[in-house]
């Protein structure tokens, strides 16, 4: 069994669609990459919103409805436990737009692709939002307008062709980390797919946990295949020095 996590360790965690899928949320692209006959790219770009905001909002309203019925799994809970133990030496970056990490108790978290239950003005530069919003907008008439400028309100989501949120803060956390744990990602989507290489180049320990080998598996020192709900609880216990843990991180 490996030694417990160093007392001064700084951990960067990246999570992807795999950890949410374990709770019953369909991955972003869904089966075959289609939603009601539309490619997901057709309902997740600024151009799509400009052309048919009602269609885009129908897509995200359906996602909001589905997200309301799911709960965190043991993988989410294990990461929240790890955060509680490490305090401000823990940084969680997620590609997911759901709130399952928060529901499990995580607080130090960055949603690089936005949040499903937030909205903002669609006019670039408008200071209105993002703000909490769990409403469903199924028709054009239901879509609210910005009280500041009158533009339509849009989901607070990083769409195709847009720049992910808080990249500077994420890069600072990567530069400072001594360990990098990636959970349930494909290793394809940039810039997140490069995070492990950035951390590894600075000497950080790199570990992957997920049901399938990611496309960037060669960048990890260790790859553990299996669901996060089945692997993370014991891995976290081992890293924190729990004598009852069965599987070490390193």
Bond preceding residue 130 cis, omega within 30 of 0: yes
Q: Tell me the C-alpha distance between 224 and 229, whole Å.
A: 13
Q: Tell me the C-alpha distance between 38 and 43, whole Å.
A: 7
For the chain, how many residues are written?
Answer: 250
- 190, 167 contact by CB (below 8 A): no
> DSSP H helical segments within 182-245, as ranges?
195-201, 228-239
Q: Tell me the C-alpha distance between 236 and 250, whole Å.
A: 11
Q: Tell me the C-alpha distance between 223 and 207, whole Å.
A: 6
- Please indicate whether residue 84 is annotated as part of the active site: no
Helix axes 228-239, 74-86, angle to 10 degrees: 20
Q: Which is the catalytic residue, given 76, 101, 111, 113?
A: 113
Bond preceding residue 191 cis, omega within 30 of 0: yes
Give catalytic residue positions. 113
């Amino acid at each position: 069994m490996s030694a417990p996590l160093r007392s001064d360790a700084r951990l960067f965690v990246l999570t992807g669609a795999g950890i949410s899928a374990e709770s019953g949320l369909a991955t972003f692209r869904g089966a075959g990459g289609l939603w009601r006959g539309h490619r997901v790219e057709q309902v997740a770009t600024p151009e799509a919103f400009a052309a048919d905001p009602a269609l885009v909002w129908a897509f995200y309203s359906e996602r909001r409805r589905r997200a309301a019925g799911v709960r965190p799994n043991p993988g989410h809970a294990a990461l929240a436990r790890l955060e509680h133990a490490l305090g401000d030496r823990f940084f969680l970056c997620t590609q997911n737009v759901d709130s399952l990490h928060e529901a499990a108790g995580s607080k130090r978290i960055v949603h690089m692709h936005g949040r499903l239950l937030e909205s903002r003005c669609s006019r670039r530069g408008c200071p209105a939002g993002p703000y909490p919003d769990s409403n469903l907008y199924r028709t054009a008439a239901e879509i609210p307008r910005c009280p500041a400028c009158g533009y339509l309100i849009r989901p607070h989501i990083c769409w195709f062709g847009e720049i992910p949120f808080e990249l500077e803060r994420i890069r600072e956390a990567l530069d400072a980390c001594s360990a990098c744990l990636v959970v349930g990602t494909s290793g394809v989507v940039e810039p997140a797919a490069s995070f492990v290489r950035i951390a590894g180049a600075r000497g950080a320990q790199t570990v992957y946990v997920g049901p399938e080998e990611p496309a960037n598996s060669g960048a990890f020192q260790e790859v553990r295949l299996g669901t996060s709900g089945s692997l993370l609880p014991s891995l976290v216990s081992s890293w924190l020095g729990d004598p009852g843990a069965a599987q070490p991180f390193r």
